[in-house]
Amino acid sequence: MSRLATVRPGEAERVRKWLTAAVTGQLNERKVLMEPLRKDLDALVPPTDALDDALVAALSRLDPGPFRGEMTVHAAHARHPGVGRIFASRGLPACPACAVGADETLAEAAEAEGFPLSELLADLRGLQT
């Protein structure tokens, strides 16, 4: 039988405090162990992001086809320097390193801003002529 199943009326507050202290103690022990790892992981974020951006740019250059709805925002930025201007005119992230750009597709961005994808693609394809 668990300890909580044997609690008598009036004991609940004492048991709650005991349980809170036990859980807090366990979490604090683990937090001390995790802190150095967190700092190491945080230090890896900028170079990893830079590698990701470089890979997106390289892959975009290997794909000479037209802009497509399934292309990510970052891939579109990597494709042509004029993309930022077109994005800005439509309220989309004009920065090639925007937070959602690695995952958000052009189709999702157009839908989120409430305009037809076909219009955005026509503007972007105009850059390639």
Domain membership of residue 80 (yes or no) is yes
Rounded distance, CA 80 to CA 25, Å? 54
- Its pTM stands at 0.55
Domain membership of residue 18 (yes or no) is no
Tokens for 127, please give them.
């850059």
Mean pLDDT of 72-90: 88
What phi and psi, each to the nearest 5 degrees, are found at residue 88? -60, -35
In the predicted structure, residue 107 carries a pLDDT above the cut 90: yes
* pLDDT per residue as tens digits for the range 17-56: 888 999 988 888 888 888 888 889 889 888 888 887 778 7
User: Any long-range contacts for 113-121 (C-beta under 8 Å, 24+ apart)?
Assistant: 115/90, 117/69, 120/86, 120/90, 121/66, 121/67, 121/68, 121/69
Domain membership of residue 10 (yes or no) is no
Rounded distance, CA 28 to CA 21, Å? 10
3-class secondary-structure state, position 45? helix
Domain membership of residue 35 (yes or no) is no
Domain of residue 54, residue span: 45-127
User: Tell me, what amino acid is at 31?
Assistant: K
CATH code of residue 105: 1.10.3910.10
Answer yes or no: are the C-beta atoms of 67 and 76 closer than 8 Å: yes
